A and B are shown apart, each in its own frame.
Chain A
Amino acid sequence: MKQADFVSLVMPFKDKVFRLAKRLLVSREEAEDATQEILLKLWKNSKKIGDYKNVEAFSMTMTKNFCLDRLKSKQAQNLKIVHSNYTDSNSSLQKQVEAKDSIGWVSKIMEDLPEQQKIIVQLRDIEEYDYAEIAKMLDMNETAIRVNLSRARKTIREKLTNTHQYGIK
């Protein structure tokens, strides 16, 4: 597999990988590193890439596992303080998003969700995969995913309603 082939294969989903990594790791820098790591891993095994049935689903699973490992590792825990103080100078989009206050609220609410629900909301509501694909990526059955998703949506909805009606009711 040549470099150009690989790039054209990876292009369509590298942003999805990045967004999932960012949802889980919060910091943009960490997410960039994670994405790079994932893409390099894919490139290293590019000879075997033909054997995978669905490269995109495979890489999303890889991303999920990699990010969860990162979160568990000591290094990430040490870095936490730095990240919470971290101000991003070039993420114009993130700033735009958070400038719209209530949208910023949603992203904050999502940070508080358990990892599993975070991943599922990211994959379903943002990346718009169907349930079968998500089930394959996460190695779960569809009912469990629906249950988790409806719980996550309920949490987001309740917290949003609370902030929305804060001081009124």
Chain B
Amino acid sequence: MVLNNIEKLIEKYNSAETTLQEEAELKAYFKSNNVAPHLEHYKSMFLFFSESKKEQYTKDVPLNTKKTKLYQWISVAAVAVLMLGFFIPNWNNEPKTLADYTPEEQELYLETKQTLSLISKNLNKGLLGMNALDMTGENLSMGLEKASYITVFGDTTNKLLKN
């Protein structure tokens, strides 16, 4: 009786006309151990279907909330600040004449100018002295050149002596 019913169900199943409930019945029947021998080959199919359903997805999914956007903007802000740092000091940098400063500042400026010119004068004097050194240096090198003649002369005399 049961077998008859199952055979009918299988026929319906093969033409895809079974309802979910009937399919559940079939699955339950093939799960049991007393399957009729001529239906044995269906058993693995239904077992496979119910086995496959047990497989699970075990990996975690990283669900990022939208906090990351803030970090992106931090770099932009840093660049903006840096650029401001470069430009702000240049804003007041229009060329100025001596008259724009206060009298005290002008006085200071003139004083420094004077001292600097004094220093440069003295430096020039020093340089003249250095010129004398230059000349002695030149004379020395001329002397060296002449000395080399002597060594060449020495070489030739040696050759002559050997002969």
Q: Are A22 and B55 in contact (CB under 8 A)?
A: yes
**In the assembled complex, how far is the CB of residue B61 from the closest CB belonging to chain A, in whole angstroms?**
5
Can you name the residue of chain B whose Cβ is closest to the Cβ of A3? B63
**Interface code B3-16, partner A: CB below 8 Å = 1, 0 otherwise?**
00000000001111
Flag whether A59 is at the interface (Cβ < 8 A): no
A153 in contact with B53 given A103-B48, A107-B48, A164-B40 (CB within 8 Å)? no
Are A14's CB and B57's CB within 8 A? yes
Determine whether A66 belongs to the interface, using a CB cutoff of 8 Å to chain B: no
B75 is an interface residue with CB less than 8 A from chain A: no
Cα of A15 to Cα of B52 in the assembled complex, Å = 11
B148: interface (CB < 8 Å) = no
**Contact, CB under 8 Å: A94 / B55:** yes
Nearest opposing residue in chain B for A32, CB measure: B59
B109 within 8 A of A: no
B17 beta carbon closer than 8 Å to chain A: yes
> Is there a chain A Cβ closer than 8 Å to B44's Cβ?
yes
Tell me the B42-70 residues at the A interface (CB within 8 Å): 42-45, 47-49, 51-57, 59, 61-63, 65
Total A residues in contact with B, Cβ cutoff 8 Å: 42
Question: How many residues belonging to B are interface residues under a CB distance threshold of 8 Å?
Answer: 29
Per the bound structure, the CA–CA distance linking A35 and B60 in Å amounts to 10
Q: Which A residues have a C-beta under 8 Å from some C-beta of B? A: 3, 6-7, 14-15, 17-19, 22, 32, 35-36, 39-40, 43, 93-94, 97, 100, 102-103, 105-107, 125-128, 130, 145-147, 149-150, 153-154, 156-157, 160-161, 164-165
Contacts of B56 in A (CB 8 A): 15, 18
Taking a contact as CB atoms under 8 Å apart, the answer to whether A153 and B16 are in contact is yes
- Partner among B24, B44, B54, B57 whose Cβ is within 8 Å of the Cβ of A103: B44
* Distance of A81 from chain B, by nearest CB (Å): 24
Contact: A32 with B57, CB < 8 Å? Answer: yes
The chain B residue sitting closest to A164, CB to CB, is B41
- Name the CB-closest residue of B to A14: B57
Nearest B-chain residue to A105, judged by Cβ: B44
**Are B59 and A19 closer than 8 Å at their CB atoms?**
no
